Amino acid sequence: MVKTGGRSRVRVRLARTLAALTIAGGSLAALQPAAAVAAEPLTSLVPVPVSVQPAAGVTHTLAANAKIYAASPSVGDYLAGVLRKSTGYALPVEAAPANPPADGISLLLSGAPGSVGDQGYQLTVSAQNVVLRANTAAGLFSGVQTLRQLFPAAIESATVQPGPWMLPGATITDHPRFAYRSAMLDVARHFHPVDAVKKYIDQLALYKINYFHLHLADDQGWRIMIDSWPKLATYGGSTQVGGGPGGYYTKAQYSEIVAYAASRHITVVPEIDMPGHTNAALASYAELNCNGVAPPLRTDIEVGYSSLCISKEITYQFVADVIREISALTPGPYFHIGGDEAHATSDADYQTFMAKVLPIVAQHGKTVQGWHDIAKVQLPGSAVPQFWGTTTADQGVVNAVARGSKVLMSPANKAYLDMKYNSSTPLGLSWAGFIEVQTAYEWNPGAYLNGVPESAVLGVESPLWTETIVTSAHIEYMAFPRLAAHAELGWSPWSTHNWNQFRTRLGAQGPRWTAMGINFYKSPQIPWDTGGNPGVCSQPAWDAATVYTGGNVVSHNGTKWTAKWWTKGEEPGTTGEWGVWRDDGPC
């Protein structure tokens, strides 16, 4: 899990705080467009679809009197809610007839190819109408996210824009590589209120994320009311990293988050970490400590020092009560028990604890998830170890797979969103290394761990630990653009994996994020699309044959660049953290 200490390797203080995409007629060439050129929608989709077949010369313009015909009223209302704000159109939602009308947008639960499964879709844009077909409402919802990206970026604006609202003609057939695509938010280190969590859920939905792991308790705070142990929230939730006021969710608020996620076809996975990472609980109830003395609340970011008392029977009553109350509020199939960095628990005690706790989870109708540390015990075949290591081998995970487990992939040096992009990143930690966008993208979840074939991989998760993350703007800066890279790893076929193509498609997302007000990191690895409206560069154009020294300013791809030291032939915007060129923004 966590990751501040990285298994005690580094203690960091807070103060230091797609192969080709098939398109009718051929494949996308290596994409290196100038940032000043507005992206063509069919070659700018993230995640890249399984199949895109353009209809040459065909466009569809959304009419002011258009209707949405929906076999799933909730998905129809969701789409209308997105489009109404920017278009100003009424876009009434009506029940879909048996055959799609010759106009408007139809969302149908019939006629989709069987190959798209439960989460895929087929989207057809003609001059007359738009028809989205799927086998389930979840599939329609996924297709709606693709449809949004076919519109101009201004479709994401919160205020009425002038349009016109044109879509390129095409048939897109799509389905996910992995059925499980997740993101995690730690609300224990810093508490994040309901509205902030909802905002992040909406952003996850944009990229077809369908699970949301909520890390609800840790050493620094307990964030959900448990009626049978109320001081967990009222006292254990009263602070956070750095000594702020903390906070917690009432049961009604937690249920509100769960329901909101469900409306975006996202399933919530609650986590209560145990037997370690439990100082907030131990501080709240002295009887949970072996010596009967409650320790003080903690606001630092150390790890590995706390443990529930394995020999006390009240420990298991506490665990059963917590699992029972949270499970009753959580319709999803999983309960995450943490299990990582239990350095204050002996191996024998860890085995004893898990032998008692695993059946408790099952008694309440949930399937166990835990950080891959839990694989050192003999897990049931249904259990899901979540790999967060920084190597490509773990014998415990291999043993769990041999007993039937599937693995959730979150290698910390690839998938952790709280790792800094580079040494200058103002937020985050770096114990697992720096993770620029290319590092986040360039790994294969289905062939990453030795002895774990793709058939044994449940999916991909992007955890965001919040030792340094206080606001929604902080969440956005660390999640975007890396979350989109992980989303493509989870959704798109590995055969489409191509960094040069991805970086250009990702750059086309920039105007959308700007329209939505997302505070994203403008990685110099990405040729960010300016929406076709660049300024005029007054600086001299970069020249590969010229020698530049620190302080020299050039223009390249509609952007100003300042040399940090001597360079010759190194193209601005093509290197990562150690690149010589500083991005000074668009001209």
Which of 174, 209, 228 is where one domain is finished?
A: 174
Q: Based on C-alpha coordinates, what's the Rg of the chain?
A: 25
For residue 273 the two structure tokens come to: 């970490």
Quote the DSSP letter at residue 233. H
Regarding whether 193 and 122 lie in a shared domain, the answer is: no
In single-letter form, the type of residue at position 481 comes to: P
**Residue 446 resides in a domain:** yes
Q: Which residue has the higher pLDDT, 537 or 326?
A: 326
**Residue 232 resides in a domain:** yes
Instruction: List the beta bridge partners of residue 369.
Output: 336, 384
Number of domains in the chain: 3
In this prediction, residue 536 carries a pLDDT of 58
**Residue 30 resides in a domain:** no
Regarding whether 159 and 184 lie in a shared domain, the answer is: no
Please confirm whether the linkage preceding 47 is cis (ω < 30° from 0): yes
Over 70: is that where the pLDDT of 287 sits? yes
In this prediction, residue 587 carries a pLDDT of 59
Quote the DSSP letter at residue 238. S
Alpha-helix runs per DSSP H in 97-249: 137-150, 194-205, 231-234
Residue 168 maps to which CATH number? 3.30.379.10
Give the SS3 label for residue 556: strand
For residue 270 the two structure tokens come to: 């609650």
For residue 569 the two structure tokens come to: 């032939």
Regarding whether 146 and 80 lie in a shared domain, the answer is: yes
**Residue 228 resides in a domain:** yes
Q: E strands within 22-92?
A: 22-23, 26-27, 51-61, 68-70
**Residue 85 resides in a domain:** yes
Regarding whether 255 and 386 lie in a shared domain, the answer is: yes
Residue 440, class by beta-carbon neighbours within 10 Å (0-12 exposed, 13-18 middle, 19+ buried)?
Answer: buried
427: alpha, beta or left, given left = phi > 0 and alpha = psi -120 to 50? Answer: beta
Over 50: is that where the pLDDT of 133 sits? yes
Using a pLDDT cut of 90, give the percent of the chain over it: 85
For residues 371 and 463, the answer to whether their CB atoms sit within 8 Å is no
Regarding whether 214 and 153 lie in a shared domain, the answer is: no
Over 70: is that where the pLDDT of 398 sits? yes
The Cβ of residue 102 has, within 10 Å, a number of other Cβ atoms equal to 9
Residue 561 maps to which CATH number? 2.10.10.20
The pTM is what? 0.87
Regarding whether 335 and 304 lie in a shared domain, the answer is: yes
Which of 142, 174, 206 is where one domain is finished?
A: 174
CA distance 289 to 278: 10
For residue 89 the two structure tokens come to: 């159109």
Regarding whether 416 and 300 lie in a shared domain, the answer is: yes
**Residue 361 resides in a domain:** yes
In this prediction, residue 34 carries a pLDDT of 31
The Cβ of residue 188 has, within 10 Å, a number of other Cβ atoms equal to 30
Is residue 341 annotated as part of the catalytic site, yes or no? yes
Instruction: List the beta bridge partners of residue 107.
Output: 70, 132
Which of 471, 496, 521 is where one domain is finished?
A: 496
Regarding whether 245 and 120 lie in a shared domain, the answer is: no
- Of residues 146, 207, 205, the one with CA closest to residue 172: 146
Q: Which residue has the higher pLDDT, 305 or 583?
A: 305
Containing 234, the helix (H) or strand (E) segment is: helix 231-234
Over 70: is that where the pLDDT of 62 sits? yes
Regarding whether 280 and 167 lie in a shared domain, the answer is: no
In this prediction, residue 578 carries a pLDDT of 60
Say which of 156, 325, 341, 436 is annotated catalytic.
Answer: 341
Instruction: List the beta bridge partners of residue 54.
Output: 170
List all residues 6 or more positions away from 587 whose beta carbon is below 8 Å from its beta carbon. 534, 535, 536, 537, 538, 539, 555, 558, 559, 560
Question: In terms of residue numbers, what domain contains 556?
Answer: 547-586
Using a pLDDT cut of 70, give the percent of the chain over it: 90
Q: Tell me how far apart the terminal alpha carbons of the chain are, to the nearest angstrom.
A: 42
Quote the DSSP letter at residue 375. G
For residues 122 and 112, the answer to whether their CB atoms sit within 8 Å is yes
Regarding whether 341 and 220 lie in a shared domain, the answer is: yes
In this prediction, residue 424 carries a pLDDT of 94
Regarding whether 260 and 219 lie in a shared domain, the answer is: yes
**Residue 24 resides in a domain:** no
CA distance 189 to 219: 8
Over 50: is that where the pLDDT of 542 sits? yes
**Residue 526 resides in a domain:** no
Q: E strands within 347-383?
A: 367-371
Q: What is the mean pLDDT of residues 43-71?
A: 97
User: 532 pLDDT band (50/70/90 cuts)?
Assistant: low
Regarding whether 482 and 459 lie in a shared domain, the answer is: yes
- Of residues 554, 471, 558, the one with CA closest to residue 507: 558
Residue 201 maps to which CATH number? 3.20.20.80
In this prediction, residue 305 carries a pLDDT of 98
User: 533 pLDDT band (50/70/90 cuts)?
Assistant: very low
